[in-house]
Amino acid sequence: MQISSRFTVALHVLACIATFSGQKKVTSVFLAESVNTNAVIIRNILLQLKAAGLIRVDRGTGGAYLKQPADEISLLDVYKAIEPLENGKLFRIHENPSKDCPVGRNIYEVLDGRLSAIQEVMELKLRSMSLADILADLNDRIEEQKD
């Protein structure tokens, strides 16, 4: 299993918004250059972040802004905005295992609790980290590179 790059792109976008707001207009074109991707991809991610209430986007070339302090935006908030979970579950199980097979008849019940526990741990860890944590580490790295 691999989580799509959209989650890390969203974190990149939020880090740019937090870093450059007030210094320059943070537009989809600017963000696309930083991420090195197409501006349409960035606009789609901005729409998801906006719908989740994490950012404000001014019309035209007005730019994007955080709607709340970085320490109040958890990585779980970002993950849920970008990778919405079907039925609230991280893992999907194939829908039609054979009821004639003892494994097929029982696999969902055997896996369900384990997969729920894995999701719970992941969500707990993502909830414990904020955009402010990312920004602090990012700023440390930027400062180190100045030397």
What would the pLDDT profile of 47-101 be if each residue is shown by its tens digit? Answer: 999 999 999 998 876 799 999 999 999 999 999 999 988 778 888 888 888 999 9
CATH topology of domain 6-146: Arc Repressor Mutant, subunit A (1.10.10)
Residue 138 has pLDDT above 70, yes or no: yes
DSSP state for residue 72 in the 8-state scheme: G
DSSP state for residue 68 in the 8-state scheme: S
What would the pLDDT profile of 20-52 be if each residue is shown by its tens digit? Answer: 998 999 999 999 999 999 999 999 999 999 999
**Residue whose token pair is 């789609």:** 44
**Token couple for 52:** 């989740």
The model's pTM: 0.87
- Dist CA 19 CA 143 (whole Å): 13
* pLDDT of res. 2: 60
Mean pLDDT of 97-117: 93
Residue 14 has pLDDT above 90, yes or no: yes
